[in-house]
């Protein structure tokens, strides 16, 4: 494994150990408490209430270092998933490229973070080691009290798997492993798969077969070079990509409509590429 990824894993272990130590100290019993037999009923009630509050542990506050580790793990998981079916389609590639930039923006030096994320992705994509379980377990340890956040990351991975309209058996197996290690309930996982499967199957017949319509959808013309067509294609992917629209707060109905347009745009681009061979 690359030295950079090893450093990230080491830092994960350090952060988790430090958080556990702090939690242990916080939960040490008060040695100065008097005997239960001498406490009034009011005092006992107050103690019980405090104990109940301690069991409802708040979600930990994240620092920049922890956030860097988390996004590094998510990118690594994306790399493992993107090669699960043996191929990476154009939409998958574009989604990953946008994630490099989007994930790095909250940090003080986004260019440096983006470079690191790109390196992590390349290392994981070409690695023969099956470290999926380690990555998912590390993310869970960092977010064990943040169930909603774990579901959101799993949703992002499911979307990546479905973006080519086909969920392969290897992709589904990998997602099941991640869901299990994230400790996502079976109901929530099946609901995620079902919603994406239903949506993409609904639009699976929206195929573009006319080459002139394909050029029209990409705002291009037959005389354009393939690089010019690709530039316009990428601009449209950025405009209509559901993950980017969700992050900007657009409503679900609008995002779904844009997802359908994006599928047609992708089909049009693939048709143009095949037509030029």
Q: Which domains does the chain have, with CATH numbers?
A: 64-202 (1.10.3680), 211-275 (1.10.287)
pLDDT at residue number 200: 65
Distance CA 194, CA 147 (A): 20
| 67-99 residue pLDDT tens | 999 999 999 999 999 888 776 777 778 778 888
pLDDT at residue number 26: 47
**Contact by Cβ (8 Å): 208, 217:** yes
| 46-66 residue pLDDT tens | 555 555 444 444 444 567 788
Reply yes or no on whether the pLDDT at 180 is more than 70. yes
Residue 231 sits at φ, ψ, to 5 deg, of -60, -45
pLDDT at residue number 177: 96
**Contact by Cβ (8 Å): 268, 214:** yes
Two tokens, residue 191? 């609901």
pLDDT at residue number 240: 80
**Contact by Cβ (8 Å): 1, 123:** yes
Reply yes or no on whether the pLDDT at 245 is more than 80. no
Q: Break the chain down into helix, strand, coil percent, rounded to 5.
A: 75, 0, 25
**DSSP characters over 130-193:** --HHHHHHHHHHHTTT-HHHHHHHHHHHHHHHHTTS---HHHHHHHHHHHHHTT--HHHHHHHH
**Contact by Cβ (8 Å): 240, 259:** yes
Which 3 state secondary structure label does DSSP give 45?
helix
| 118-166 residue pLDDT tens | 999 999 988 888 899 999 999 999 999 999 999 999 998 998 888 777 7
Sign of the C-alpha dihedral computed for residues 38, 40, 44 and 46 taken in this order: negative
């Amino acid at each position: 494994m690359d030295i950079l990824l090893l450093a990230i894993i080491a830092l994960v272990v350090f952060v988790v150990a430090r958080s556990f130590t702090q939690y242990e100290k916080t939960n040490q019993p008060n040695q100065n408490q008097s005997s239960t037999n001498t406490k009034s009923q009011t005092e006992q009630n107050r103690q019980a209430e405090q104990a109940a509050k301690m069991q409802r542990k708040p979600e930990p506050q994240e620092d920049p270092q922890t956030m860097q580790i988390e996004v590094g793990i998510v990118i690594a998981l994306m790399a493992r998933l993107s090669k699960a079916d043996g191929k990476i389609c154009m939409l998958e590639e574009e989604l990953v490229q946008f994630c490099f930039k989007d994930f790095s923006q909250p940090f003080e030096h986004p260019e440096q973070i983006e470079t690191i994320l790109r390196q992590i992705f390349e290392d994981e994509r070409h690695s023969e080691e099956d470290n999926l379980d380690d990555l998912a377990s590390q993310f869970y340890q960092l977010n064990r009290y943040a169930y909603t956040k774990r579901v959101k990351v799993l949703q992002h991975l499911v979307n990546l798997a479905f973006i080519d309209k086909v969920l392969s058996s290897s992709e589904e197996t990998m997602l099941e492993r991640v869901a299990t290690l994230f400790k996502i309930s079976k109901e929530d996982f099946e609901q995620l798969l079902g919603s994406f499967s239903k949506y993409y199957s609904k639009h699976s017949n929206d195929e573009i077969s006319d080459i002139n319509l394909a050029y029209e959808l990409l705002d291009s013309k037959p005389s354009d070079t393939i690089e010019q067509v690709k530039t316009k294609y990428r601009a449209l992917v950025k405009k209509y990509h559901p993950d980017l629209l969700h992050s900007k707060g657009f409503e679900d109905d609008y995002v779904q409509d844009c997802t359908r347009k994006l599928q047609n745009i992708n089909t049009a681009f693939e048709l143009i590429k095949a037509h030029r061979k």
